[in-house]
Structure 1
Amino acid sequence: MARVQLIEFNEKQYQESWWKWLVMIGTHSPNTLDETLTKLSKKGKIDG
């Protein structure tokens, strides 16, 4: 049970760091952020 919770926590932590990274990139280059989100949504990684 503890192992499952640990995995879920790690996934949540990864997602948060991933979005922070996307935002950081986006603040410097909005076009890059838009392109990244478009590519991810096409691959089905995120809902878009």
Structure 2
Amino acid sequence: MDALLDFYQSKYIAQQIDILEYKSIFGYLSGRGAVSAHDYAQLMK
């Protein structure tokens, strides 16, 4: 799940999906426990 979230984050950053798609995907994946690499790095500090 984490890798899938990172994949969609990179697609959003590259402007391949819009904010509404990203927010929907993010909500779905984070609701199932996915943590982005960025968030994980912040937790490890």
Q: With structure 1 as the length reference, what TM-score do the two structures score?
A: 0.43
Q: Greater CA radius of gyration, 1 or 2?
A: 1
Q: For CA contacts below 8 A with separation 6 or more, give which structure has more relative contact order.
A: 2
Greater share of helix: 1
Q: With structure 2 as the length reference, what TM-score do the two structures score?
A: 0.45
